[in-house]
Amino acid sequence: LPPPPQSSLAPIELSFGLVCGFCSGVFLKKGGKLIAFALGGVFVVLQYLSLNSFVRVDWQRIGSKFEHLFYRTDPLTGKTKPPTLGSLWTWLVNFLTTDFQPRATFLAGLALGIRLG
């Protein structure tokens, strides 16, 4: 009988992808909370300063800058569309796994890190 074929799975690669994904998930979860806290604080301070006439905030201009950064133009209709949760997830996964071989274990670790982190 011929010898059994060599497995293409290496446990060290599986654990490396899982650990990298888990750490990335924890970082994204904790970092997201920190960014949300900071942006919320900036909003409250700006509203307070605006209410007391210390500053004037042009919310329409800020909104248009936000739309310019995140909204996409549909090539078929020409209308701008806000990002969906699916498109943001796809962008994040493509960004994090570019040129990274153990992609499947990374995604499992990422989901675990976001869940447990």
**Secondary structure (H, E, C), 94-116:** HHHCCCCCCHHHHHHHHHHHHHH
pTM over 0.85: no
Q: How would you label 29-63 residue by residue, b for 16+ Cβ within 10 Å and e otherwise? A: eeeeeeeeeeeeeeeeeeeeeeeeeeeeeeeeeee
Q: 80 pairs with which residues across the strands?
A: 73
Of 27-41, 46-60, 87-101, the least confident: 87-101
pLDDT at 77 > cutoff 90? no
Question: What whole-number distance in Å separates Cα of residue 65 and Cα of residue 14?
Answer: 42
Give residue 3's identity as a one-letter amino acid code: P
Structural domain boundaries in the chain: 13-95+102-116
Instruction: Count the helices and strands in the chain (H runs, E runs).
Output: 4, 2
Which has more confidence, 117 or 24? 24
